[in-house]
Amino acid sequence: MSPLDSATGAEASGYHRRVSHAAELVAEIANELDTWPGVRIERRSDGAALVRYKDLELGVLAPDRGVVELPFAHLEHDELVQQGDAEPAVDSTPESEIVSHNVEGPSDVTAVLELFDRRYREARGEEYPDSTEHPA
Of 136 and 69, the one with more pLDDT: 69
Domain with residues 3-123, CATH architecture: Alpha-Beta Complex (3.90)
* Residue 94: per-residue pLDDT: 63
How far is 11 from 17, CA to CA, in rounded Å?
10
pLDDT band at 130 (very low <50, low <70, confident <90, very high): low
Check residue 131 and give its pLDDT: 40
Mean pLDDT for the stretch of residues 116-129:
87
The pTM of the full predicted model, rounded to 2 decimals, is 0.78
Q: SS3 sequence, the chain?
A: CCHHHHHHCCCCCCCCCCCCHHHHHHHHHHHHHCCCCCEEEEECCCCCEEEEECCEEEEEEECCCCEEEEECCHHHHHHHHHCCCCEECCCCCCCCCEEEEECCCHHHHHHHHHHHHHHHHHHCCCCCCCCCCCCC
Domain map of the chain by residue range? 3-123
